[in-house]
Amino acid sequence: MITVTEWASRIVPWLVVGLVAIGAGAVPLYVSRARHASRAHAAAWTAQDALVVAALMSILAFTVGPGSALDGDPSVSLRPFSDLLRVFDLSRLLVGITVGNLVGNVLLFMPLGVALALRYRGLGMLAAVALGAGLSFAIEAWQALSGIGRNADVVDVLMNSLGVAIGYLVMRTLGPIPPEFVGGKHTPNRAR
């Protein structure tokens, strides 16, 4: 088990490297797309791809590395919300940490829901939630089997799926997105 400070010092450099890599990968992708589509559409499409990758990288950065001291002893919990029910008997601090963990799981996966709704216009909410749940299940399985000191919990899968659903619904509720800002088939730019 590592301290929260040690955990953060391991995560932050990877997030920075990941963001730099996304930027470095986005430039040639944009240039390639701008040859066949308007610059605005190429930029929007590339930004959406970068958003999907950034959401995935953030999720992985926070979930597949070693656990922090806040995680407690590694465990697997298959009873939904059993940890929440258990801490109600203990203290306000533990309740706060547990509720914060639940909210954190929702918030961590919301950008993925937003990115999927924005980038893949034809993707329905159930498909987006299924993708999020599948990713979350894979992460929880990794945490359970890898011995990295993380807690694997079925509630995380539920909260992560809820995060994808909320992100997806927020994006779809904002109204129709102009076609030039939505991924999919691009229209060649004939007038340059």
Q: Give tens-digit pLDDT for 125-168.
A: 999 999 999 999 999 988 888 877 777 888 899 999 999 999 99
What pTM did the predictor assign? 0.70
8, part of any domain? yes
Percent of the chain with pLDDT over 90: 25
Residue 188 maps to a domain: no
The single-letter DSSP state of residue 68 is B
Q: Residue 80 has what DSSP assignment?
A: T
- Tell me which amino acid residue 135 is: L
What tokens does 115 get?
A: 């990115």
**Pair of tokens at residue 77:** 């919990």
Count of CB atoms within 10 A of residue 161's CB?
24
Phi, psi (degrees; rounded to nearest 5) at 123: -80, 120
In a domain, 16, yes or no: yes
Q: Would the pLDDT of 96 be above 70?
A: no
Identify whether 175 is part of a domain: yes
Q: Return the CA Rg of the chain.
A: 19
Task: Please report whether residue 186 resides in a domain.
Answer: no
Q: For residue 190, is it within any domain?
A: no
Torsion of CA 77, 80, 82, 88, to 10 degrees: 140
For residue 190, what pLDDT is reported?
42
- Residue 39's alpha-carbon distances to 52, 90, 134, 158, 176, in angstroms, are 20, 57, 35, 39, 21
192 found inside a domain: no
Which among 160, 151, 149, 154 is positioned nearest to 58, based on CA atoms?
160
Number of structural domains, the chain? Answer: 1
Is residue 102 domain-resident? Answer: yes
Q: Which residue has the higher pLDDT, 186 or 48?
A: 48
In whole angstroms, give the CA distance from residue 166 to residue 183: 20
How far from each other are the two terminal CA atoms of the chain, in whole angstroms? 58
Domain that includes residue 20, residue range: 4-181
